[in-house]
A and B are shown apart, each in its own frame.
Chain A
Amino acid sequence: MEFNRRAFLKSSALAGVAVGLPVLNTAFFVDPAHAADGKALNFMSAENLTGNWDPSSHTTLAQINLESFVFGYLTRAPMRPDNPDELVMELATEMKLIDEHTLEFKLREGVTFHDGKPFTAEDVKATFEYASQPDRPAAWYPGTCEVEVVSDHVARIKTDKGGYPASLFWFLSAFLPIMSAKDVADPKTLSARPNGTGAFKFVRQDGNTTVLEAFDGFYLGKPTLPGINFNFVGDATTRTLALLNGEADLIERLEAEQVQSIEEAGGFKLNKAVSVENKYLWFRCSKAPFNDPRLRKAAAHAIDRTVLLDILGVSGHASKAWISPVKFGYVDTPNYPEFDPEECQRLLAEAGFPKGEGLPELEYITSVGFYPKTKEYGEVIAAMLQEQGFPVKLNVMEVAAWNERLYDRPGGGPGHMIDCGWSTGSPEPDLVLRTHFHSSSKRICGIEDKDLDAVLDKERNTLDPAARKAVIQNEVMPMLAEKVPSLSLFTSVFIHAMRNGLDGMYFYPNGMMDANKATLA
């Protein structure tokens, strides 16, 4: 074909017109994106999912939030600060401690899974016996257990072989999604799609959007909302803009400045709640120099936590314990290590490092992008520690790199200190205390301490709830204040923002949600 400049100009002009034609269609210009009546709820999540729908395969908060729509739980724990111990029955109608190692659940009748299979005690048995295996990564269970199926709708959790009291499942029952026995028998299917008894069923994964639709057979009746689009949008500014322009109906994890913009814009409402998540400064206790508790305590005394709260604004709540105020057993620990430079210097000198002299360079790892203001308060903590003589180097990483360095390893986890929060949707305190401070788990700090083990075992094995609470408040917390495997910096305040037309949502203090009574006008 002859190709001269005239032909080139002509064809490029034609191509321009062809591409430009749709732009000239005025319908495109009057297309304000607004969710209207009868449309699915658009939720924007700050974190991504794992790609494995087996609830026992991960500890990822976003997926736990999504599971709260799809799966059913034996009970639910609203965890209101004025009544943190309250449990609301869901798949169970009654629970009773038969003896030290047996907890009986009477189960609701007439409940079905999204694939149509009726819910029975066999599903509880399959779920508990599978997810409590020590090789399940989520490790929310205190140990292995067995389940006796008394009848179709009565199941008994037995913990005698696991060697721990069955009462631990009292609060945990609100945090363990119930899977179908049929799925548990077929791990491939279990991982490939979520199948629960919740108000919304999984339809498909569409890029970064998980599409859920209202489940006709939900035992409380089909929800009013026709569906939920669960989108991952990593950037907080983008999430805020999406709410403001109507793309999103509900967003999470906001910072103070964004809260202000949303409040000023009008037409939106906020849900601020003291969460179940504490943010900690974790010391790597299994390697030098923080294998010396005096140094950990000295570092804790170097930090003025009131400054951190000033930086966080609405996103932080003062903390004086290793669990959140909405957890069972919270107490303002009397000997909590407060800002005290003199005590810090005394401990430094006692540990053989007067004014920090002789200490190696200490790496403090933090993340940016997920938790609010981590870099900002990380810099302040580093400066406070440096002022007392700790040669701290702050290492700010994006979430994936930080996540890779988070957990303890043989010989100690990377760096010397690391920033991380811990959020679990149950009032059960051992999801934090035992997970992190007992030598059998020691997830991040890597502490191995016989005294701590003993007091944590005592707390776990105390059957009477009031007596157990007393052990936590009078023995566990004071000992943690002495050993300081980590310093609880503050309790996070979870902020959800939504359109004024969205009513009836319930937000649990760990970020889980209940939308079965929600309406969107």
Chain B
Amino acid sequence: MFVLSFLLRRLLQGSLIILLVTFIIFTLLRVVPGDPARLIVGGMAPDEVVAMKAKELGLDRPIPVQFVSYLGTLATGDLGTSFVRPKSGASLGGAAFDDQTREERAKVLDLILATLPMTLQLAMVALVIALLVAVPLGTAGGLYPGRWPDKLALALGSLCVSTPNFWLGIVLTLFLSVKLKFLPAIGYRGFSYTILPAIVLAVEIVPFILRTLTVSVAQVMREEFIQLAPIRGLSRSRTIFSHALGNSAIPLINLLGVQLGMLLGGVLVIEFIFDYPGLGLLTINAVLQRDFPLIQGIAIFISVMFVAINILVDLIAMTIDPRLEY
């Protein structure tokens, strides 16, 4: 029963956030320079054709009116149709105003769903790499505060956090792909193309997991129930693995929820550098091409994902520690 009321409350809050994000994105896209009507019909089209197209798309109406009608279509699950991309999903530009294939433009949701698995794959691999590095080191750092594992965790965290991802991407490609021919990069022709961008993305995530885990393990180790464990006859390893780690995981799980935002920010740059055909590359090209419905769709989709994952994270954390209340 409590779970139900929790879910209902969080879903309501989440819907409000999504509505707000939708409104902000919708309004921003309409006040920044770049006339979508001219974009669709092309630079060489006469002004009357631009005005006609604006009327046809309803762009000449006041923003609140446009927003309400946009919400109406959104409610049916329709994120709209891309201004410039055809069904093949190709990146386009410079199309003509009497483009015969315009009605063949791709649905925003189809474009997102086609690229999302690629980004999820990248994010998952990055997360696994990050966890493989950060969990052992972060735990060791927390178990031996002030000693070398802690110092190593701090040093590695500082190094990772101060390395720009676009630089690391280029350098790793140069060494691992160009010089050593060890891993492929640029584009996507198989799973192996995910590894290099995932390493770069993992470098972005590692410092946060390291720091959180070091602090949280150290904190849990000072708790009474851990201090008293030897009296209960528990061995040190049993205490750590069965009691300390589980409790230290709660801040980490919360952090992973928040990290999603950073992951998505990271994939924008990384997918562009590696020409990795995921949601990040789609977003960058949509921005460069002023493909408003696509930008809007991606923003809304991401906010929905963000809200959903945060609810899920809270739910998991609550299951681990029922004392937590949200």
Contacts and interface: CB of A to CB of B under 8 A. Distances in A.
Interface of A: 3-6, 8-9, 16, 19-20, 22-23, 28-34, 47-52, 54, 57-60, 63, 135, 137-139, 187-188, 190-192, 204-208, 210, 231-235, 237-238, 241-242, 244-248, 265, 369, 398-401, 403-407, 409-410, 443
B211 interface: no
B93 A22 contact: no
B89 A207 contact: yes
A8 B246 CA distance: 9
Contacts of A235: 272-273, 275
Contacts of B86: 51, 205
B174 A23 contact: no
Contact of A137 (B97, B185, B249): B97
Given A5-B320, A191-B100, A245 B90 contact: no
A49 B92 contact: yes
B99 A247 contact: no
Given A50-B96, A137-B96, A235-B275, 4 more contacts: A59-B44, A245-B184, A400-B34, A400-B290
A82 B189 CA distance: 43
Contacts, number: 196
A507 B92 CA distance: 24
B274 interface: yes
A47 B90 contact: no
A242 B275 contact: yes
A139 B98 CA distance: 13
Interface in B102-147: 104, 124-125, 128, 131-132
Contacts of A23: 125, 128, 195
A33 B184 contact: yes
Interface in B192-210: 192, 195
In the A-B complex, the 6 residue pairs with the closest CB atoms = A205-B88, A32-B181, A137-B96, A33-B184, A60-B94, A242-B186
Nearest to B177: A245
A506 B96 CA distance: 29
Interface residues on B, range: 35 or more
Given A244-B174, A245-B181, A404-B34, A208 B90 contact: yes
B212 interface: no
A245 B95 CA distance: 33
B125 A232 contact: no
Q: Chain B CB within 10 Å — which of A51, A205, A443 has the most?
A: A51
B187 interface: yes
Contact of B96 (A52, A404, A409): A52
B95 A51 contact: yes
A247 B185 contact: yes
Given A33-B189, A52-B99, A191-B99, A60 B89 contact: no
Contact of A31 (B93, B184, B249, B273): B184
A241 B92 contact: no
Contacts of B183: 29, 31
B91 A232 contact: yes
B258 interface: no
B182 interface: yes
Nearest to B39: A404
A118 to B, nearest CB: 26
Given A22-B191, A400-B39, A48 B128 contact: no
